[in-house]
Amino acid sequence: MILYTVDAPVARIVLNRPRQGNAITLEMSRELARLVERANLDPTVHVIALSGEGPGFCAGYDLAASAELLDGYGEDAVRPADGSPLDPRVLARNHDPTTPWDPVTDYQMMMRNVRGFMSLLHSEKPVVAKIQGFCVAGGTDMALCADLLVVADDAKIGYPPARVWGAPTSALWAARLGVGRAKRLLLTGDCISGREAFDWGLAADSAPPDELDERFERLVQRAGRLPINQLVMHKLLVNQALFAQGLHATQVLGTFFDGVARHTPEGYAFQRLAAESGWLEAVRQRDEPFGDFGRS
């Protein structure tokens, strides 16, 4: 699911579900946190390089199967291989709208994903992420926790679930882009290109797709030349300004709102459409009025 290698001074973390667009699972966020800690404890590692295998960085959560079931994930689909009892938080993601919804159980499940993503931001050592192809929905919840982004000019970056069935749980858009541009994206669900992400200050660098690897490696190695103590001090210093703005409180609200967004009348209608016609058809009907369904 995630590959980990060390080529000192760099630890490389690679999302490795290319056939699923590197879609996020509950296990992936936990594994991510474990590998970040492994890199932090390795004295040969100065910088962490985060990337995704295949044509895109991350398509968001692995929601197609769950959205197509009116009663949530379905116990048979998610029961642990060892036969252990099913974690009730898994079924909190989606469920039959005729049954009660527990927002706190939903929050408990989703906040664990946020903590996994935030391991990147809380990492003492800097994290540089490479974004190619697509980085959308929950993929941005993860990517925006990295310290520096190097993006392909033609990459697609944004949070389309702002239109229905989602809210950004790591809640970093305003911190990374400012209030005005964060509202521009979240009040429309529109995406921006990698080049626009660089122009807006979201990315540290952008490059044509055929030059992306080289530009990414250049920045990773440049950061890797600094002593670990300098890197840790400067990252801690900048992060304190971010935390002083109230990021952690905002993430609580964003994570609760993500659950709420899936349990509105529109959220239930979206889930029902996915159950009846398939996930892609539901997304098509969501995005076509904006003229951007399927547009890379």
Task: List, for residues 57-67, the tens digit of each pLDDT value.
Answer: 999 998 765 56
Q: How far is 67 from 102, CA to CA, in rounded Å?
A: 18
CB-CB neighbours of 79 under 10 Å? 15
Average pLDDT over residues 287-294: 88
Helix (H, G, I), strand (E, B) or coil at 102: coil
Identify the pLDDT of residue 113: 96
Domain boundaries, the chain: 2-290
pLDDT score of 274 more than 70? yes
CATH topology of domain 2-290: 2-enoyl-CoA Hydratase; Chain A, domain 1 (3.90.226)
| pLDDT tens digits along 66-108 | 565 544 333 333 344 444 443 444 444 555 677 889 999 999 9
Q: What residues form DSSP beta bridges with 10?
A: 7, 47
Of 39-43, 160-164, 256-260, 271-275, the range with the lowest mean pLDDT is 271-275
Identify the pLDDT of residue 293: 80
Sheet of 10-15, strands arranged across: 2-7, 10-15, 47-52, 127-131, 148-152, 205-207
Q: 205-212 long-range contacts, Cβ below 8 Å, gap at least 24?
A: 205/150, 205/151, 206/150, 206/151, 206/152, 206/153, 207/150, 207/151, 207/152, 207/153, 208/152, 208/153, 209/132, 209/152, 209/153, 209/154, 212/130, 212/132, 212/150, 212/151, 212/152
Closest of 173, 163, 166 to residue 143, by C-alpha: 173
Identify the pLDDT of residue 38: 98
Ramachandran bin of 185, using left for φ above 0, alpha for ψ from -120 to 50, beta for the remaining angles: alpha
Computed on alpha carbons and rounded to an integer, the radius of gyration of the chain in Å comes to 19
Identify the pLDDT of residue 67: 60
Q: How far is 261 from 1, CA to CA, in rounded Å?
A: 28
Task: Output the average pLDDT for the chain.
Answer: 90
The model's pTM: 0.90
pLDDT score of 17 more than 70? yes
Average pLDDT over residues 209-228: 98
Amino acid at 254: G
pLDDT score of 6 more than 90? yes
| pLDDT tens digits along 31-56 | 999 999 999 999 999 999 999 999 99
Identify the pLDDT of residue 87: 43
pLDDT score of 183 more than 90? yes
Higher pLDDT, 85 or 243: 243
Identify the pLDDT of residue 90: 46
111 and 259 Cβ atoms separated by less than 8 Å: no
